[in-house]
Amino acid sequence: GSSGSSSREDSVSAAAAVVQVQQRRHQQGKVTVKYDRKELRKRLVLEEWIVEQLGQLYGCEEEEMPEVEIDIDDLLDAANEEERALKLQETLVDCYKPTEEFIKELLTRIRGMRKLSPPQKKSI
């Protein structure tokens, strides 16, 4: 077997940094569920895309945007595509630009995604 002592030291210092971050975040409450990094990355990319799209739809910067909350987990909870589309249409009801393309694209992008909020009850 090979033993790399330098990589072990790296992981120790990284772990120490993580502990510091956790201590700092401790006041805000702990994250109890460990998420898949890939899922989080996909989610982050998607949310950035959504913000960008909303900026175009509403023709304004992120700071000036009206209170539009698109909850991806809520969309993933919906029974089917139609229900998801309806939820999005309700959310974007005061948008004066056509939202069909955005809705279609968003529904395509969330297909196959998993919810990130911890499940409330196990459904079989």
Confidence class for position 25, pLDDT limits 50, 70, 90: very low
Residue 55: inside a domain: yes
Length of the chain counted residue by residue: 124
Prediction pTM value = 0.62
Phi and psi at 88, nearest 5°, equal -65, -40
Range of the domain at 90: 37-62+71-111
Q: What mean pLDDT is reported for the chain?
A: 78
**Which of the two residues, 23 and 79, has the higher pLDDT score?**
79
In percent, the amount of the chain with pLDDT more than 90 equals: 44
* Domain-located, residue 107: yes
- Residue 107's pLDDT is what? 97
CA distances from 60 to 49, 65, 87, 100, 116 (A): 15, 6, 22, 19, 29
In a domain, 15, yes or no: no
Q: For 31-40, how does the pLDDT look when each residue is reduced to its tens digit (9 = 90+)?
A: 555 667 888 8
Residue 55 in this model has a pLDDT that exceeds 50: yes
Q: How many domains does the chain have?
A: 1
Three-state SS for 43?
A: helix
